[in-house]
Amino acid sequence: MSGTFIGMPKFQTAAKEALGNSQQRRNLQHATGTIRRKRAGVVDELDNWDELRQAGAAIKDNVLSHLDTYLVQLEESLTQAGATVHWAADAEEANRIVTSLVRATGAEEVVKVKSMATQEIGLNEALEVAGINAWETDLAELIVQLGHDKPSHILVPAIHRNRAEIREIFLREMGQVGTPPPTGLTSNPRELAEAARVHLREKFLRAKVAISGANFAIAETGTLVVVESEGNGRMCLTLPETLISVVGIEKVLPTLEDLEVFMQLLPRSSTGERMNPYTSTWTGITPGDGPQDVHVVLLDNGRTDALADQVGRQALRCIRCSACLNVCPVYQRVGGHAYGSVYPGPIGAILNPQLRGTTSDVDQSLPYASSLCGACGDVCPVNIEIPELLVHLRTRVVDEHRGGIPSGEQIAMKGAAWMFSDHRRWEKAQKGAELSGRALGKKDTIGRLPGPLSAWSDARDAPTPPAESFRSWWKREKGDPR
């Protein structure tokens, strides 16, 4: 069983720990650098990239503002095509539906296509409680699952692991749940991929039930689309008898033609390829081809809350490409785990507080997990204004804490406002700072402050005050201006 994100500390606390992991920082630096270069190369090939992004945003805005209409249409098309449609208000309901569907088949195991929605609802853990083994079949997901680890990237969940670590996990864990790796396995990626191929083939061939998500769901035809690379998706979507797909309600596209926009935007933004190796589409049941028992679970789980926020709803345009993670200077250093969710990085910082609400420490802290440099907004293939949304959510978090007992930060800010409002108070404060600067001597930064002040200093390296302020220097050199 993989680790979960339940009870995560706030971002700043988790980030501090992650920053101490120099191996992870090196792995991330290397991996995000590689994928950034690839993306930039294939995006530059298209003259009409901006036009495509605008079209992607416009199609999604059209969908979101008519979501009820399109969902009913999707349900009709799917039903017409022989699929059974289920509606799930939250994670618990979705897990209950999927578990009972699997139980009805009598199967004790399922194979899984990589799916953010099923991770979001903790489906594997729910199935495990019900005595059903869920085998992840995407290579990176397999690494995370075998390593009893947590995903740290949307596209490459094991991005924080290097080849030597992966080899160790395979040698230690694979044999306990199926075909073991060959003896003499090295850390060559080709050999590691081959070990995964052999390990999983046995599971693909015997699986009776598969579980997937969907990248897109086409309302007009009832067609679901899964975009992937390895062929594990094709195996799961084709060989079993029963297929259950958990689909977020924001995944709807109106028509088949809309794929022309997203099948250009997604691969280039995501893996930095002109096209991903495999894309599968299926429309309910096809007699004689693939699963003959097809279910689709339409998942809300906070999406209607995000939809109700007229500024925040644009986060629901997200197509889970992870380009914003790869360019983010914060993500690149702290990695994905600190975000306390399967959605890390800039998109996670705006999506999680909207899907889960801002009651927990981690969700309140996420809008602050950014330097607001804007790189994420620039690469987003559906033009989500991530920096603006971060500021919007910061306002929401602050507004929710107005009234009641003021926080230390609020008291400090009130004090600062009082000090700045009169130059005599400001100059007095600077005198104090000069003294403390001299007292701190040669240290460049202020370390951990005592007591409640540590809340401020723990996530920030503030420079020590100079021994002489500009105003003092000016007065000494040029005389008193007044």
* Residues numbered 377-416 forming contacts with another protein, rule: CB under 8 A: none
> Does 182 help bind another protein (rule: CB under 8 A)?
no
Q: Between residues 227 and 369, which has the closer beta carbon with respect to another protein?
A: 227
Return the residue of 281, 292, 457, 472 that touches another protein, per CB under 8 A: 281
Return the residue of 107, 275, 311, 459 that touches another protein, per CB under 8 A: 275
- CA distances to 38, 53, 70 from 261, in Å: 20, 8, 18
Of the listed pieces 31-39, 127-135, 417-425, 430-438, which binds another protein according to CB under 8 A? 31-39
Alpha-carbon torsion 148, 14, 334, 270, what sign?
positive
Question: What part of residues 254-273 is at the interface with another protein (CB under 8 A)?
Answer: 254, 256-257, 259-261, 263-264, 267, 271, 273
Q: Between residues 278 and 426, which has the closer beta carbon with respect to another protein?
A: 278
Kindly state the smallest distance separating residue 302's Cβ from another protein, in Å: 11
Of the listed pieces 87-95, 349-357, 372-380, 437-445, which binds another protein according to CB under 8 A? 87-95
Beta-carbon contacts of 193 under 8 Å, excluding residues fewer than 6 positions away, are 139
Question: What part of residues 123-152 is at the interface with another protein (CB under 8 A)?
Answer: 137-140, 143
Of the listed pieces 302-310, 392-400, 411-419, 447-455, which binds another protein according to CB under 8 A? 302-310
Question: What part of residues 32-71 is at the interface with another protein (CB under 8 A)?
Answer: 34-35, 54-55, 58-59, 61-62, 64-68, 71
> Does 190 help bind another protein (rule: CB under 8 A)?
yes
Question: What part of residues 427-466 is at the interface with another protein (CB under 8 A)?
Answer: none
Whether the CB-CB separation of 132 and 109 falls below 8 Å is answered with yes
> Does 294 help bind another protein (rule: CB under 8 A)?
no
> Does 290 help bind another protein (rule: CB under 8 A)?
yes
Give the number of other Cβ atoms within 10 Å of residue 348's Cβ.
Answer: 25
> Does 234 help bind another protein (rule: CB under 8 A)?
yes
Strand order in the sheet with 209-212: 84-88, 293-299, 242-248, 209-212, 109-112, 133-136
Six-digit token string for 424: 């005599």
Kindly state the smallest distance separating residue 446's Cβ from another protein, in Å: 38
Q: Between residues 239 and 433, which has the closer beta carbon with respect to another protein?
A: 239
Whether the CB-CB separation of 122 and 113 falls below 8 Å is answered with no
Question: What part of residues 89-118 is at the interface with another protein (CB under 8 A)?
Answer: 89, 93
317/433 Cα distance (integer angstroms):
48
Kindly state the smallest distance separating residue 63's Cβ from another protein, in Å: 9
28/24 Cα distance (integer angstroms):
6
Of the listed pieces 124-132, 228-236, 349-357, 371-379, which binds another protein according to CB under 8 A? 228-236
Whether the CB-CB separation of 346 and 386 falls below 8 Å is answered with yes
Return the residue of 19, 25, 84, 87 that touches another protein, per CB under 8 A: 87
Return the residue of 22, 176, 310, 359 that touches another protein, per CB under 8 A: 310
161/135 Cα distance (integer angstroms):
20
Euclidean distance between the first and the last CA atom of the chain, given in angstroms as a whole number = 71
Give strand ranges (E) for 249-384.
252-253, 278-283, 293-299
Closest CA to 261 of 301, 295, 215: 215
Q: Under DSSP, is residue 440 helix (H, G, I), strand (E, B) or coil?
A: helix
> Does 212 help bind another protein (rule: CB under 8 A)?
no
Of the listed pieces 234-242, 402-410, 452-460, 474-482, which binds another protein according to CB under 8 A? 234-242
Where do the H-state alpha helices sit in 121-220?
A: 123-129, 139-146, 163-177, 189-206
> Does 205 help bind another protein (rule: CB under 8 A)?
yes
Kindly state the smallest distance separating residue 449's Cβ from another protein, in Å: 39
Return the residue of 193, 416, 453, 462 that touches another protein, per CB under 8 A: 193
349/389 Cα distance (integer angstroms):
9
Q: Binders of another protein: how many residues, by CB under 8 A?
A: 92
Kindly state the smallest distance separating residue 27's Cβ from another protein, in Å: 7
Alpha-carbon torsion 71, 72, 77, 80, what sign?
positive
Kindly state the smallest distance separating residue 285's Cβ from another protein, in Å: 8
455/400 Cα distance (integer angstroms):
19
Return the residue of 282, 331, 339, 343 that touches another protein, per CB under 8 A: 282
Q: Between residues 89 and 439, which has the closer beta carbon with respect to another protein?
A: 89
Beta-carbon contacts of 47 under 8 Å, excluding residues fewer than 6 positions away, are none
For 280: left if phi > 0, alpha if psi spans -120 to 50, otherwise beta; the answer is: beta
Beta-carbon contacts of 323 under 8 Å, excluding residues fewer than 6 positions away, are 39, 269, 270, 379, 380, 381
Q: Between residues 8 and 85, which has the closer beta carbon with respect to another protein?
A: 85
Q: Under DSSP, is residue 217 helix (H, G, I), strand (E, B) or coil?
A: strand
248/327 Cα distance (integer angstroms):
26
Q: Between residues 115 and 370, which has the closer beta carbon with respect to another protein?
A: 115
Return the residue of 8, 15, 88, 246 that touches another protein, per CB under 8 A: 88
Kindly state the smallest distance separating residue 136's Cβ from another protein, in Å: 12
